[in-house]
Amino acid sequence: MISLTLRFAKGAALVVTLGLVASCGLPRSGPNKSEIYSGSVLEQGDAFVLVVDDRVNRIAAVTPALGFSAGFTDAGVVGSDTIRAGDTLGLTIWENVDDGLLVPQGQNATVLEEVQVDGSGFIFVPYAGRVKAEGNTPEAIRRIITDKLTDQTPDPQVQVRRLAGDGATVAIVGAVGAQGVYPIERPTRTLAGMLAAAGGVAVQPDIARVTVVRGNHTGSIWFEDLYGHPGHDIALRGGDRIIVEQDTRSFTALGATGAQDRVQFESQAISAIEAIAQVGGLQSTLADPTGVFVFRNEPEEVAQQLMGRTDITGTQRVIYVLDLTRPNGMFMARDFAIRDQDTVYVTEAPYTQFNKAIAAATGSLSAATNVSSAAGL
């Protein structure tokens, strides 16, 4: 009789303890499915909750495209010998007389080194005056100077050399073999040639991003697209800045996954399945495969297509639901594209809270039993 009473007392104590533990709130990794669904606009929340299917995948797969505007792609290749403002020229002038205008006595030539092309595109040559250099080739400048000197000295011979100058250079920084300022020469008149001259990219090619800044205009492409799409191999201009950097896009993984972290993209495109695998997959003892959620802010035009409504304005909060247990659930997750700043969250299976309650309760009862034993009760 006493034994039966003790059993009843222990059972009652277990039930009471479970109730107390549950009322106190057990630790968990985040909200459960019902709490997430309660944030839907259908429940007076501010987020649209959508189950991922083929239609949703097609609409949500839209990603911001990289590329160069017409201002970049329509620019023709500049001749490597075209002079620009800021360039530096070297001139040598021969005169066919003993006492020439420019040639010192006893010599037959004079050398004018580092003649700077001014901001207006002109250079000054003694006895020839101001000569238009910008937009001309060294050969054209040679003819202009020769014509101007012919009336003053018989049969002048002129040589014009283009030296590297500020107006004909490109700055390359970031993840390249050798950062620096490079002159635009015949082999480096286009983006691909200039990157090769700088030693190529120093990060994985599939996540290398190339940005060109020209004045107030900026364009970016993936490094691999530079060779896959010849139209991206734009002609360069003096003063261009080229930045090569590793892809900075990332997503955040939370909940019952192998790791909770902010994760960098490892390729240009990543699916929900790949994102989960990248953080160690689902925790087999905790995860609910029916509750994989992707939280995202969608632009107005995408949200309108997703909801089939035209009255939606502004950026909208959207929660995508993936059920990996459905017959095509794995395919849906494989086709769902993760985007920059997404949050991937996996809920815990319902039974895990029960297991935690049991563990907490039995731990509490064990502690109480130990105390009673120590007190001799």
Tokens 């023709």 identify what position?
76
Pair 288, 235 in one domain: no
Residue 102's φ and ψ, nearest 5 degrees, are -115, -25
* Strand-pair category, 217-222 with 241-246: unpaired
Q: Is the dihedral of CA 326, 331, 334, 337 positive or negative?
A: negative
Q: Are 78 and 189 contacting, i.e. CB atoms less than 8 angstroms apart?
A: yes
Pair 74, 214 in one domain: yes
Cα separation, 109 vs 123, in Å, equals 19
How many residues can be counted in the chain?
377
Looking at residue 149, which CATH number applies to its domain? 3.30.1950.10
* Residue 262 forms part of a structural domain: no
Cα separation, 272 vs 279, in Å, equals 11
pLDDT at site 14: 47
Pair 97, 242 in one domain: no
Q: How many CA atoms lie within 13 Å of 83's alpha carbon, on the beta-carbon side?
A: 29
pLDDT at site 357: 57
Run means of pLDDT, 10 residues per run, the chain, 377 residues = 50 49 60 89 88 94 83 76 83 84 79 88 92 90 93 90 72 95 86 94 92 93 89 89 94 93 90 95 91 95 92 94 94 95 92 61 49 46
Euclidean distance between the first and the last CA atom of the chain, given in angstroms as a whole number: 19
pLDDT at site 230: 85
Residues 6+ apart with CB under 8 A from 100: 110, 153
Q: pTM here?
A: 0.66
* Residue 11 forms part of a structural domain: no
Pair 121, 177 in one domain: no
Q: Are 257 and 287 contacting, i.e. CB atoms less than 8 angstroms apart?
A: yes
pLDDT at site 172: 96
Pair 58, 74 in one domain: no
* Residue 15 forms part of a structural domain: no
* Residue 225 forms part of a structural domain: yes
Q: Among the three residues 213, 246, 279, which one is the final residue of a domain in this structure?
A: 246
pLDDT at site 369: 47
Q: Among the three residues 113, 145, 163, which one is the final residue of a domain in this structure?
A: 163
Helix axes 2-24, 350-375, angle to 10 degrees: 130
Pair 210, 74 in one domain: yes
Residue 335's φ and ψ, nearest 5 degrees, are -90, -10
Residue 75's φ and ψ, nearest 5 degrees, are -75, 125
* Residue 120 forms part of a structural domain: yes
Q: Which residues are 241's β-sheet partners?
A: 171, 213
Pair 139, 201 in one domain: no
Cα separation, 368 vs 294, in Å, equals 43
Residues 6+ apart with CB under 8 A from 290: 33, 323, 324, 325
Pair 140, 280 in one domain: no
* Residue 255 forms part of a structural domain: no
pLDDT at site 87: 83
Residue 179's φ and ψ, nearest 5 degrees, are -70, 155
Q: Among the three residues 127, 147, 163, which one is the final residue of a domain in this structure?
A: 163
Pair 113, 127 in one domain: yes
Pair 118, 136 in one domain: yes
Cα separation, 44 vs 28, in Å, equals 25
pLDDT at site 70: 86
* Residue 94 forms part of a structural domain: yes
DSSP letters along 292-320, please?
EEEEEEEPHHHHHHHHT-S---S-EEEEE
Pair 187, 44 in one domain: no
Pair 199, 100 in one domain: no
Residue 197, domain extent: 70-78+167-246
Looking at residue 242, which CATH number applies to its domain? 3.10.560.10
pLDDT at site 202: 94
How big is the chain by its Cα radius of gyration, in Å?
Answer: 36
CB contact burial 171-190 (16+ within 10 A = b; e otherwise): ebebbbeebeebbbeeebbb
pLDDT at site 184: 82
CB contact burial 329-358 (16+ within 10 A = b; e otherwise): bbebbebbbbbeebbbbbbbbeebeeebbe
What's the number of domains the chain is made of? Answer: 3
* Residue 148 forms part of a structural domain: yes
